[in-house]
């Protein structure tokens, strides 16, 4: 019978003492986040149709996380977890924001939560949020109220790529001032340009940039120059999606060139990841099962790398499971923070692990919760339990033997199911009920019904 010991995460201050970076100059830090991008939609994860040469080059200069997870399968909660370093269920943020939240300052990540910029500013950092926010539509919850010195972007979960406003939350702002569309070009390019301008500012302080592209989230809109790079893709929808990804890649290349030109490249820590698995249309999550919204691997495992030429090795792949929750403590560690000033964090600094100073796994267990307990998952070592609303059952997988989740072994291993359920319940006891709800329940039901209808139709010979 399978047995394991539930291992508690070490206190943050113990991990921060493993590697001494206090004598080093604090690194610049850039988080590059894409929106709904699939696992296989970058060359460093095997894409052959989407050109991503700049991302591939950066990935090769650092560490690719082959088991890099986010803390939620869709946009807003995943971002809440990333920026707070906490399971977003701890503060009831495990649903997307409702569409009428701009008048309610209680809907979104609460001000009581400490975000990355709020922890980095006392360490001497200047901070910028660029792109999609989606963590609070009310002005009280915008980035400048959450520790960012500078903000250029939009509050909502999606927007057209030309910057044409159609509501208060789907308007481009710079530090609270609406920007007219005539001053914008194509949002992916605009966000890149804003990041470059922030990097180029004459300032002795190190910077932290949270660059959250809304690409390749719908709507599918892109300029001709990027379409020219993907004209070899004969499937129209995939070709446009690929061009949107290529626009991000081109922007990352320009940012990298700017760092080199300013002599900042060596001491800039860059992390690239997607906020969740690829969207249901045109994205490629292969070889994993599922997509955005699901807690199968395809919904929560994302393209993920970290590079810091001054301090981290190149040409590395790290295979143990890590989480987007680990970025917050990793950044504090890189900045030389040694004291346990942020003891609410659920992640762990990755530096001792990627530097080979700790050969253990960063995590023995990871958890996911969507819409309260409507769906949830827990991974303990190589076993993963998934209570799937899509399938209306609880599934168990051995990810070491079955990384693509093809064989449900729950019936054959009831003791393992019981142990993982117990681990989940102990974790969930520390969480809050969702503070609001989104249409995920209804969407799951509709999607699974349509899938079953198509399968039934195919098995009966179509219209015969």
Q: Hey, is 328 helix, strand or coil?
A: helix
Alpha-carbon gap, residue 90 to 102, rounded angstroms? 23
Q: State the burial class of residue 449 (Cβ atoms within 10 Å of its Cβ: 0-12, 13-18, 19+).
A: exposed
How does DSSP assign 16-61, residue by residue? HTTS--TTSPPPEEEEEEESS--TTSSGGGT-SSS--HHHHHHHHT
* 44 closest CA partner among 213, 277, 249: 249
* Catalytic site residue from 54, 72, 134, 333: 134
Verify whether residue 75 is a known catalytic residue: yes
* 248 closest CA partner among 277, 213, 285, 282: 213
Alpha-carbon gap, residue 50 to 227, rounded angstroms? 11
Print burial letters for 92-129: b (CB count within 10 Å at least 16), e (below 16): bbbbbbeeebbebbebbbbeebbbbbbbbbebebbbbb
* 326 closest CA partner among 112, 102, 69, 95: 69
Q: Hey, is 142 helix, strand or coil?
A: coil
Verify whether residue 93 is a known catalytic residue: no
Examine residue 269 and say whether the peptide bond preceding it is cis (omega within 30 degrees of 0). no
The distance of Cα 77 from the centroid of its chain, to the nearest Å, equals 10
* 79 closest CA partner among 29, 125, 141, 28: 141
Alpha-carbon gap, residue 307 to 305, rounded angstroms? 7
Q: Hey, is 280 helix, strand or coil?
A: coil
* Catalytic site residue from 72, 75, 333, 363: 75
Per DSSP, helices labelled H in 61-203 are 75-84, 116-120, 187-200
Tell me which residues are annotated as active site: 75, 134
């Amino acid at each position: 019978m399978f047995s394991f010991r539930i291992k508690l995460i070490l206190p943050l201050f113990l991990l921060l003492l493993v590697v001494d970076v206090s004598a080093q100059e604090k690194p610049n830090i850039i988080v590059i986040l894409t929106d709904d991008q699939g696992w296989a939609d970058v060359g460093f994860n095997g894409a052959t149709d989407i050109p991503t040469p700049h991302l591939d080059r950066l990935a090769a200069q650092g560490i690719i996380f082959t088991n890099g997870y986010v803390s939620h399968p869709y946009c807003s909660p995943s971002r809440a977890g990333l920026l707070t370093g906490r399971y977003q269920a701890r503060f009831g943020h495990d649903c997307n924001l409702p569409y009428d939240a701009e008048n309610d300052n209680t809907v979104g990540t609460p001000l009581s939560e400490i975000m990355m910029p709020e922890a980095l500013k006392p360490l001497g950092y200047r901070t910028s949020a660029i792109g999609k926010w989606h963590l609070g539509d009310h002005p009280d919850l915008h980035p400048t109220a959450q520790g960012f010195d500078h903000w250029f972007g939009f509050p909502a979960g999606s927007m057209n790529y030309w910057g044409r406003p159609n509501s208060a939350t789907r308007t481009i702002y710079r530090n609270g001032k609406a920007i007219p569309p005539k001053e914008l070009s194509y949002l992916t390019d605009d966000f890149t340009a804003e990041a470059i301008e922030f990097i180029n500012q004459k300032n002795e302080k190190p910077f932290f940039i949270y660059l959250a592209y809304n690409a390749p989230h719908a709507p599918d809109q892109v300029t001709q120059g990027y379409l020219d790079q993907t004209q070899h893709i004969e499937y129209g929808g995939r070709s446009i999606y690929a061009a949107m990804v290529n626009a991000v890649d081109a922007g990352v290349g320009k940012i990298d060139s700017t760092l080199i030109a300013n002599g900042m490249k060596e001491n800039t820590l860059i992390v690239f990841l997607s906020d969740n698995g690829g969207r249901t249309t045109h994205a490629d999550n292969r070889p994993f099962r599922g997509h955005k919204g699901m807690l199968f691997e395809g919904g929560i495992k994302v393209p993920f790398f970290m590079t810091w030429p001054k301090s981290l090795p190149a040409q590395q792949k790290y295979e143990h499971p890590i989480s987007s929750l680990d970025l917050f403590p990793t950044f504090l560690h890189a900045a030389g923070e040694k004291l346990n000033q942020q003891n609410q964090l659920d992640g762990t600094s990755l530096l001792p692990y990627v530097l080979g100073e700790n050969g253990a796994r960063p995590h023995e267990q990871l958890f996911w919760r969507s819409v309260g307990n409507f769906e949830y998952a827990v991974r303990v070592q190589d076993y993963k339990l998934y209570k799937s609303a899509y399938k209306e059952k609880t599934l168990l997988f051995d990810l070491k033997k079955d990384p693509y989740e093809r064989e449900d072994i729950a019936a054959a291993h009831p003791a393992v199911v019981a142990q993982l359920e117990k681990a989940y319940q102990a974790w969930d006891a520390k969480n809050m009920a969702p503070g609001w709800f989104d249409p995920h329940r209804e969407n799951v039901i509709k999607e699974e019904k349509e899938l079953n209808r198509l399968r039934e139709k195919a098995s009966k010979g179509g219209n015969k």
